[in-house]
A and B are shown apart, each in its own frame.
Chain A
Amino acid sequence: DGGITQSPKYLFRKEGQNVTLSCEQNLNHDAMYWYRQDPGQGLRLIYYSQIVNDFQKGDIAEGYSVSREKKESFPLTVTSAQKNPTAFYLCASSNGRVAKNIQYFGAGTRLSVL
């Protein structure tokens, strides 16, 4: 079945540690997104990528980094510079640069700080 796979489901970060969240899609979508979800704040865009080897900062990119070396993969690294990383992280993809295209979401990764 086509879809978006995020792993791990739960992740714990120690002080000063970088952690990487995985996002893989087999929908053959060009565009991929990373969102952060905090209670009462909805979804906020961290990074997005329109095409392989290209990505742009979203609204809250500080303390995060991404890469897009393959069409199907868009990993997110939460660096030690992100002082408040505890949140639910959602990856999404869509079929290109068309406003009416639907974004499809993965099941999310919940990140907590030890």
Chain B
Amino acid sequence: AQSVTQLGSHVSVSEGALVLLRCNYSSSVPPYLFWYVQYPNQGLQLLLKYTTGATLVKGINGFEAEFKKSETSFHLTKPSAHMSDAAEYFCAVSEIASDWMGKYIFGTGTRLKVLA
């Protein structure tokens, strides 16, 4: 069965510093991978996704992620943090080896705090 691990439930960075949020997955086949962002008391918004092709994926708000098959990782990065990036971030894997291929498996989330 597929699973997703997000290392660090809370991450703090200074404004202008690099943001690195970690996501590792387990899967017997290359999965489809997603990063979502959630602001307080709101739904989830897609940041970026990896399906096939280029392993470095660019998303909205200056975020990007790199799919590394050998490391089973899909870490999210942003070169320079902004105060508006403070939110909770979820990594998700699409369950492609099941009877219903539209199901997601979510990580437990990482709450990003940006310090002034």
Contacts and interface: CB of A to CB of B under 8 A. Distances in A.
Interface of A: 4, 6, 31, 40-45, 48, 50, 56, 88, 90, 92, 94, 96-108, 110
A108 B41 contact: yes
Contacts of A88: 41
B113 to A, nearest CB: 15
Nearest to A50: B100
Nearest to B49: A102
Q: Is the interface of A mostly helix, strand, loop or mixed?
A: strand
Contacts of B100: 48, 50, 56, 97
A38 to B, nearest CB: 10
Given A42-B106, A42-B107, A43-B90, A98 B44 contact: no
Given A42-B107, A99-B94, A105 B44 contact: yes
- Chain B interface size, as a band, is 20 to 34
Interface of B: 9, 31-32, 34, 36, 41-46, 49, 51-52, 90, 94-96, 100-104, 106-109
A99 B43 contact: no
Nearest to B31: A99
Contact of B43 (A41, A90, A102): A90
Residue with the highest number of chain A CB atoms closer than 10 Å, among B41, B94, B102: B102
A90 B101 CA distance: 20
Residue with the highest number of chain B CB atoms closer than 10 Å, among A4, A42, A99, A103: A99
A55 B41 CA distance: 27
B116 to A, nearest CB: 25
A109 to B, nearest CB: 10
Contacts of A98: 101-102
Contacts of A56: 100
B103 A48 contact: yes
Contact of B9 (A4, A40, A107): A40
Contacts of A103: 102, 104
B102 A94 contact: yes
Contacts of B52: 100
B71 to A, nearest CB: 21
A90 B42 CA distance: 9
A92 to B, nearest CB: 8
